[in-house]
Amino acid sequence: MNTLTITRPDDWHLHLRDGAELAAVLPFTAQRFARAIVMPNLKPPVTTTAAALAYRDRILAALPAGLHFEPLMTLYLTDNTDPDEIDRAMASGQVSGCKLYPAGATTNSAAGVTDIRRIDAVLERMAERGMVLQVHGELTGDVDIFEREVRFIEAVLEPTVQRFPKLRIVFEHITTAAAVSYVHSARQGVGATLTPQHLLHNRNAIFAGGIRPHYYCLPILKTEADREALLDAATSGNPRFFLGTDSAPHSQTAKETSCGCAGMFSAHAGIELYAEAFDTVGRLNRLEGFAAHFGADFYRLPRNQDTLTLIKDNWSPPPSYAYGSGKIIPMRANESIQWRVSPS
């Protein structure tokens, strides 16, 4: 198969940043995806409905003429989130979920939740109102970086799933065979996003030929066995698993430093990389469900009506793209990607 037309996809986990950086990266997503769940970990974080709506306005103002894109907003949960904020978010009609960042787990998560039981009243209100909880699933503290996801399932996620049986939960950017197994067996109302980097690469990519900071993300790339389990889940046709790039832009200088920021920028090839992954196992026929149907169904939103066409045709991303006053290094810079989006 050299050409594939699918329902226009959505990105259910995306970082857009703000200001000049937002303007630099937004077009890549809007050229490919109709909608995206926009993560709230700005500085300061997006903790209120008013802040989310203001951020949405800035995103739409940065959208180039001729592109059609709908940002789906989220709130950043803290120990002090007011349950009434959930009501305000639902009333706005523009907030699609609330993000749980365990404090210290990833970029701009210092203000996150220190103990999930501190927000029980918020989670109860979310369950009552039908608001989705989006979970960064890593246990913080003195925990091996390669075991944080598995430990989080045991210590935090499963107890929360059981305590709030009506709460809809997205286990974001899963990275392990254990997480795949958990999502398969969890009660109804639990889904998961999967990223292109975790479907295409294992942890060896971080160290191939020396330390490669542009392959450093959180959760970190895992083993080859984990990658294979993730790819099998993504291509299985199981509607619990859906697309979320976790494209997370950082400037070249922020990545190539002694404390290099975690995150991989993939928006420039956000759907093409998934096509490559699905093609490796001969399951391109299942890409449409994963990319365009299952996430919309989980969030109880209508599926898109327009289409996007992919062509099997090798191309190489450039060494960098402009990013505010600096540059950003894209995933697969100067390397080959096997699929491209048709310009028509």
Could you give the CA distance from residue 122 to residue 109 in angstroms, rounded to a whole number? 18
> Count of CB atoms within 10 A of residue 184's CB?
14
- Strands 326-328 and 321-323 turn out to be antiparallel
List all residues 6 or more positions away from 185 whose beta carbon is below 8 Å from its beta carbon: none
The pair of structure tokens assigned to 60 is 């739409």
* HSE-CB of 189 using CA atoms within 13 angstroms: 17
What per-residue string of b and e applies to 187-222 under the rule 16 or more CB within 10 Å gives b?
A: eebbbbbbbbbbbbbbbebbeeeeeebbbbbbbbbb
Do residues 149 and 217 touch, judged by C-beta distance below 8 A? no
| 10: annotated active-site residue | no
Could you give the CA distance from residue 83 to residue 64 in angstroms, rounded to a whole number? 36
Query: Among 246, 279, 297, 313, which one carries the catalytic annotation?
Result: 246
What pairs with residue 169 in β-bridges?
133, 190
- Strands 11-14 and 3-7 turn out to be unpaired
The pair of structure tokens assigned to 157 is 């996620």
**Known catalytic residues?**
246
